[in-house]
A and B are shown apart, each in its own frame.
Chain A
């Protein structure tokens, strides 16, 4: 192939474009306009957003009454006798038993969910001194435990005190006081993590997959299996009950903005529903970690790389298709084929001309995006490479397809067949994961699908060209296919 010949064709195409003011205008204003429109106009309905959950939550196992009793046992001045039912030996009350405490059923539960809890205490002693000693002892043990668990939360006591006025025998200061405690309390059995998982599982907007650990959650995002993943650690229920603030974490692929907002809403609802059923808490703050993208990504950031490819693909296809059709119809192709030119030189002339056009258009798109946000700049080099690949496939395919066309209108008719489906199916706006199943195979027929996948990976996931080798090979494959087909298409030209 003689590059000189290719250059001659490139120069000639640019001369023609320069003359065709309308096409020229379209090629310059089009990308800017489309970038704006796409950035603002699109917001689709999203269903079945894939989310991953690692639920390591454990129940709140402590029985607070028992904790208090254990605390009391530490003081050796008292004999603690714990019984599990109401069979208290009341006949010994005031004799060998000085104090009876009853921890009611649901003592722990009521404390945890913030209800009013009153502890009933009966005291029957011979001296006021003992009564004071005992009530101080009980309230300090209870308050210590309350302090441990809940911080400030207190508990009210219902003391029933009887003082038997015996003067004799004298006070035996070493006497051990006997306290009988009725402990009817049981643990709090609800695991909030389980509630949240079951609520999300029944939510149509998301589709849940269960993973094991926090690392698995991050992995699910990185491997693009999930859009959002939720990690519920083992102390979730406990920290909730004890009002210790947020411990769950959410990991987010911020590139799929619509899906993320749906998933976040579902998760937020599941959590607050689960909590508010039982606890008197209305909102719960979750820590959000953006694995890719960020919360403040603009729509124009997200769409930008995809739009660059789309614009180039679109214009390269339509304009080179029409141009090549004209070459055939007006007979200049026949003249070129009769000249010393080789067929590949003709195609490469077209390719290079439209690669230059695509570069200019991409730059216009980039400038439009940069006006709003500079995020795209860091990955531009690789994205340009992708754009050029996408354009090469588009031009060669257009040259091939134009050999079946008889009028320019027929080329325009390719727009609804070839261009418009790619807007919706390429993953530019609607992720392939949420497409109806029947459409997915169609999506994978279109080259733009591979471009969008690679461009998003490069722009937002720090991927390099080697990470997107599959997409690159498919795009190169489209180009080679188009090249072979278009050379074959030449045969039809003069026949």
Chain B
């Protein structure tokens, strides 16, 4: 059974609408086994709906998908047992202790043998570092600790595939870092992780990411693949000795594949893709009698790519209209 599927998750044109809103709009993707796949996008992008479609909590309007080789509209208990799901809300029983919560979900996921269950629970408590709080009632724990308990509930039964919906929302940067460490340690053991986040900077922790907006996947790939989508994404920030004439800018643009933005009197930003032109641009300016007082090179952020992609998507929509 294990080798009958190549991808932990595959979807094809998966679509779900709520009323007039297309929450998930024709999403097709393939997620390899053993990778951390980040589903990245702002709130309302459709990430949660997509995850819920995968786990069978929602039925798609159209399209289809397979998860661990099993069609998403016919998930068997056996397959579900291999999935760990951490919903966006804490999803814990506040009146039970951390350990009791973990134990409940361990049992539900088939850890029926008392000894084995005890071992699994101990392991997961160690992994998420909540030994100190294990016997405290959840409502008395801090938000971050609750989030750790929630993660523990999702992974206690050692699932092959983890679906984590915004696991790092609202927790401290330190804890966020340790969460990503847990995730990495899990993939080292061959687990597949699909994680959603609206923190773009977290994408760096993922093997591959998909940028999601308004239910659509804008782009998908490794970080560098995604970055390269942004034309002239890198930029050269120059402080000039005197004002630059419009004519000089025009010539600059026609000589090199750059974009030029004037920032105030004496500052300009030159966008480029190819690193080799940086020296040429500087010497061109100097030759034209423009002294350069300082030079700063800025790499593009994922935000920039994202904003660019959204703009491009909107332009496409408008041009289609």
Contact = CB atoms under 8 A, between A and B. Distances in A.
| 8 residue pairs, one from A and one from B, having the closest CB atoms | A331-B91, A340-B77, A331-B89, A338-B85, A340-B80, A339-B108, A494-B57, A8-B107
Given A12-B96, A16-B93, A330-B94, A340 B57 contact: no
A12 B108 CA distance: 11
B201 interface: no
B67 to A, nearest CB: 11
B57 A334 contact: yes
Interface in A1-37: 4-5, 8, 12, 15-16, 19-20
Main secondary structure of the interface of A (DSSP, over half): helix
A335 B164 CA distance: 12
Given A8-B107, A340-B80, A495 B90 contact: no
A337 interface: yes
Interface in B56-105: 56-58, 77-78, 80-81, 83, 85, 87-96, 100, 104-105
A341 interface: yes
13 contacts: A8-B104, A19-B96, A330-B91, A330-B94, A331-B91, A335-B85, A335-B153, A339-B80, A340-B81, A340-B108, A494-B52, A495-B18, A495-B58
A15 B108 CA distance: 16
Nearest to A335: B91
Contacts of B90: 330-331
Contact of A332 (B55, B92, B107): B92
Contacts of B91: 330-332, 334-335
A346 to B, nearest CB: 10
A339 B100 contact: no
A332 B58 contact: no
B110 interface: yes
B82 to A, nearest CB: 10
B105 A339 contact: yes
A88 interface: no
B112 A338 contact: no
A20 B58 CA distance: 33
Q: What's the interface size class on A, roughly?
A: 20 to 34
B109 interface: yes
A15 B18 contact: no
B137 interface: yes
Nearest to A8: B107
Contacts of A339: 80, 85, 105, 108-109
A481 interface: no
Contacts of B89: 330-331, 334
Given A334-B87, A340-B80, 16 more contacts: A8-B104, A12-B96, A12-B104, A330-B90, A330-B91, A330-B92, A330-B94, A331-B87, A331-B88, A332-B92, A335-B91, A338-B55, A338-B85, A338-B87, A339-B109, A340-B108
A8 B52 contact: no
Contacts of A15: 96, 100
A4 B111 CA distance: 11
A190 interface: no
B110 A340 contact: yes
A16 B87 contact: no
Contacts of B100: 12, 15
Bin chain B's interface residue count.
Answer: 20 to 34
Interface string B136-170: 01000000000000000100000000000000000
Contacts of B88: 331
B57 A337 contact: yes
Given A15-B96, A332-B92, A332-B93, A338 B83 contact: yes
A297 interface: no
Contacts of B96: 12, 15-16, 19
A12 B153 CA distance: 15
A341 B80 CA distance: 9
B108 A8 contact: yes
B58 A12 contact: no
Contacts of A335: 85, 87, 91, 105, 153
Interface string A329-364: 011101111111110000000000000000000000
B108 A5 contact: yes
Contacts of B77: 340-342
A460 to B, nearest CB: 42
B287 to A, nearest CB: 65
Contacts of B18: 495
A182 to B, nearest CB: 102
A441 to B, nearest CB: 38
Nearest to B51: A338
B77 to A, nearest CB: 4
A494 B104 contact: no
Contacts of A330: 89-94
A462 to B, nearest CB: 46
A204 B94 CA distance: 59
B248 to A, nearest CB: 59
A338 B104 contact: no
Nearest to A334: B87
Contacts of A16: 93, 95-96
Contacts of A338: 55-57, 80, 83, 85, 87
Nearest to A2: B77
A343 to B, nearest CB: 11
Nearest to B94: A330
A10 B278 CA distance: 69
Nearest to A20: B95
A128 to B, nearest CB: 114
B84 to A, nearest CB: 9
Contacts of A20: 95
B288 to A, nearest CB: 63
Which of B78, B92, B107 neighbours the largest number of chain A CB atoms within 10 Å of its CB? B107
A338 B81 CA distance: 9
A495 B105 CA distance: 22
Interface string A479-495: 00000000000000011
A223 to B, nearest CB: 52
A495 B81 CA distance: 23
Interface string A453-495: 0000000000000000000000000000000000000000011
Nearest to A493: B57
A360 to B, nearest CB: 20
Contacts of B107: 8
Interface string B111-143: 010000000000000000000000001000000
Which of B56, B57, B100, B109 has the most chain A CB within a 10 Å cutoff? B57
Nearest to A342: B77
A8 B111 CA distance: 11
Nearest to B108: A339
A284 B73 CA distance: 81
Interface string B257-273: 00000000000000000
Nearest to B86: A335
B112 A494 contact: no
B159 to A, nearest CB: 11
Contact of A341 (B108, B112, B153): B108
